[in-house]
Amino acid sequence: MPQTPTEGARHRATRTAPARPARTSHRAARIGVVAVAACLVTAGAFALPAQAASTLKDLAGANGKDIGFALDPNRLSESAYKSIADSEFNLVVPENAMKWDTVESSQGSFNFGPGDQVVAYAQQTGKKVYGHNFVWHQQLPGWVQNLSASAMKTAMENHITAEATHFKGKVFAWDVVNEAFDEDGTRRDGSPFQQKLGDGYIEDAFRTAHAADPNAKLCYNDYNIENIGAKSNGVYAMVKDFKSRGVPIDCVGFQSHFIVGQIPSDLQQNLQRFADLGVDVRITELDIRMSTPATQSGLTQQAADYKKVAQACLAVTRCQGLTIWGITDKYSWVPGTFSGQGAALVWDDNYAKKPAYDALAQALGGTVVTTPPPTTPVVTTPPPTTPVVTTPPPTTPPPSTACKVQYQVNSWNTGFTANVTITNTSSSAINGWTLKFTFPSGQTITQAWSSKASQSGSNVTLTNESWNGSLPAGGNTVIGFNGAYSGTNTNPSSFTLNGTACSLG
């Protein structure tokens, strides 16, 4: 399925990079951020609130945070896409459906149909809608760019008013102005709004949006402002000025298009200094790209990076949550913009969870719990006067288990990632499980997530973590691991759960 255009990438280490065509949508990740040391995913049991949560949505909600994704409503017809969208997120951002060129391609003629689809989907699945966006120099119809200054001001105000009014009460927050700053912290000189209306257009846009929908949260959104530097300082000064003068700005979005191993070391500090101005902050367009094909080390570092971003948000009270810019690598904007790079999202091309999923779940799941070893009471028995015959307690066989196992693998070079779905097909709950199988081609596990792995020769044993050991009747859990192989990577042909053979599905 061809990729929907996403927002214009930016190679902006210098200002000489050519602009992308208006229909490309999406944002280049950070250029020139300081590389930081790998922050490896910490193993350990996590204490989850009340009942163990099994989705990112449940975990984020338990922490009072949003976990969102960018939606193209046309992809909801794909069952795997829709299943993840339905179950894993509590917030949705329209990828392109609410941008100017979609909503008002001809002056005064409004098309709210695609945006209405996003809203309808969110209402059906109990999600919030974060609007994106009113004013941006890209994906902007030619008729706007060709207007005189006074006509452009009127057109901008009319566009904001019409769209905000149409979605009033349905969209809780808006990116009012998007990407209005250059890398040196000055206003973007390539924007037609900046060229014709000057600095005042941003304030005008926020006041217009507030007048149209006083209850909506109004945000400024940009990329390459995740660290403390010239560009973020420019945005910080604007927000500080707006707050001091009563301009209705409620939040700042940090896009966070990152490269593996290059999460800013001062991300949390930067989020906090904006929050201290009296605005909410949020990670709005998170993806973390790498050179492709993905390697084991790249996936491991990516997982650590996703975890680090989530932890930075969780550490800042006014950070409202994270939005991932898409679901699956299959539709990511990155490969079409950065040749030889991609694999930036949490699900791979085949909708299998990557290590980044488990890292996010761990970051959102609670605090690490260290359980002390059990204390065995000492019993002193006087020596018997007559011979004592000790009979060992009877061995209780594990309960009968009906199960199904689905094994999905993504191989590259001499490495692979496997995702294993275990389903309890019996009528009784399973409390604690052990999955066993044999590798037919001498494969070895190098890293596991959502389970504890041990291997003796070709024989593999996987046992549950503390938070996913209970499988209700009809319930399932997804676990995974990275592995290495040479020659062939043949799938295991049989699995047992608690000693009972499982069907394959």
Catalytic residues, by residue number, are 285
Distance of CA 429 to the CA centre of its chain: 31
List Cα–Cα distances, 25 to 140, 315, 367, in angstroms.
Answer: 11, 31, 38
Q: Tell me the backbone φ, ψ of residue 225, rounded to 5 degrees.
A: -120, 15
Asked if residues 214 and 165 have their Cβ atoms less than 8 Å apart, the reply is no
How far is it, in rounded angstroms, from Cα 3 to Cα 130? 22
How far is it, in rounded angstroms, from Cα 350 to Cα 360? 19
Q: Which pair of tokens denotes residue 74?
A: 């046309």
Task: Report the SS3 class of residue 343.
Answer: coil
Element (H, E) at 200: helix 200-212
How far is it, in rounded angstroms, from Cα 96 to Cα 103? 10
Using DSSP bridges, classify how beta strands 173-178 and 217-222 pair: parallel, antiparallel or unpaired: parallel
Taking the C-alpha atoms of 361, 363, 364 and 366 in order, what is their torsion angle to the nearest 10 degrees? 110
Closest to 422 (Cα-Cα) out of 368, 472, 371, 358: 472
How far is it, in rounded angstroms, from Cα 329 to Cα 336? 11
Query: Which residues, other chains included, contact 364 with Cβ-Cβ below 8 Å and sequence gap of 6+?
Result: 56, 59, 60, 62, 63, 65, 67, 310, 314
Asked if residues 275 and 318 have their Cβ atoms less than 8 Å apart, the reply is yes
Query: Which residues, other chains included, contact 321 with Cβ-Cβ below 8 Å and sequence gap of 6+?
Result: 60, 65, 66, 67, 68, 91, 282, 283, 313
Using DSSP bridges, classify how beta strands 403-412 and 415-424 pair: parallel, antiparallel or unpaired: antiparallel
DSSP one-letter code for 368:
B
The 3-state DSSP composition of the chain as helix, strand, coil percent (nearest 5) reads 30, 25, 45
Q: Tell me the backbone φ, ψ of residue 192, rounded to 5 degrees.
A: -65, -30
Task: Report the SS3 class of residue 341.
Answer: strand
